[in-house]
Amino acid sequence: MSNFKILIVDDTIGNLKLMVSIFEKYEPEYKIYQTNNPQMALSIAIKTEPDLIITDWNMPSISGIDLIKILKKEDLLKDTPIIMATGVMLSSEDLQTALSAGATDYIRKPLDPVELIARCKSALLISSYYTELVEQKNKDLAESSLHLIKAQRFNRTFASEIEKLKGIILSHPDKAVEKLENIKSELLQEVEEEGWYRFNISFSQVHANFHKKITEEHPTITPAELKLCTFIKLGMANKEIATVLNQTADSIKTSRYRLRKKLNLEGVNLETYLTSF
């Protein structure tokens, strides 16, 4: 948490100087914007896109409550956390009013430096988590959309192949078996790819950088070998891997031997090595 941008809005110059000095002392890497004119706050916020806004409550032209409502109407700022600072409106009802208007938190004046920094860090951390969650959901949605398109294409192709098979059965019964075998192979391949796709999403959520790290360490590793590494890292036995990959246990054993040789792991346990990534 080092390069955050914070906008401070307070009509009292002394309060602005105090908060700026606190941030300069405790979080010097923060980028601080300030204004004593609340009417300028919106344009400054749109221009600078701060990660956090701190506003006073009692200001002559626009109250802190009204300013929050104005800021929250902007799509660019609607998710930006806002902390209300006040030395006058201190009751629990006032706190509820600020939170209902859209404030993320509330801090009392005179300001305590430690409390100010702690509340700002908390608001920034929660906001960062929220942003990451939204980005992940958008990514998941995009992946789901692409997967849906792929599934629909396969369904259309499969339906078309069935129609062709009907014609072959009627005109060339001897070729029907061969055509059925082709369709069976395509279907099995699609099911395998679908299973791997779903599995890989779950695996990447738990071991986010595994594939990246091992590929960087061993650039010549193939997709099939990377898949095998994934299953070995999870501690799966040869028979289990063979079932998943539709191969024999002996072929998996051979693949593991070749993989160890390719990774130059003589005298090193393959599973132990992969666990280190």
Structure tokens at 134: 């939204």
The CATH number of the domain holding residue 45 is 3.40.50.2300
Among 118-132, 182-196, 208-222, where is mean pLDDT lowest? Answer: 182-196
Query: Do 104 and 11 have their domain in common?
Result: yes
Question: Is the C-alpha dihedral spanning 239, 241, 244, 250 positive or negative?
Answer: negative
In this prediction, residue 152 carries a pLDDT of 62
Average pLDDT along the chain: 84
The reply to whether 235 falls in a domain is yes
Among all chains, which residue has been given the structure tokens 């902390």? 83
Residue with tokens 């031997």: 257
Number of domains forming the structure of the chain: 3
Position 235 confidence tier, pLDDT thresholds 50, 70, 90? confident
CATH classification at residue 236:
1.10.10.10
14 and 87 co-located in one domain: yes
Residue 141 above 60 pLDDT?
Answer: no
Give pLDDT tens digits for 54-92: 999 989 889 999 999 999 999 889 889 999 998 777 677
CB of 10 closer than 8 Å to CB of 59: yes
Contact in structure between 111 and 79 (CB atoms under 8 Å): no
29 falls within a domain: yes
Quick one: tokens of 108?
């009392």
Structural domain for 215, as ranges: 210-275
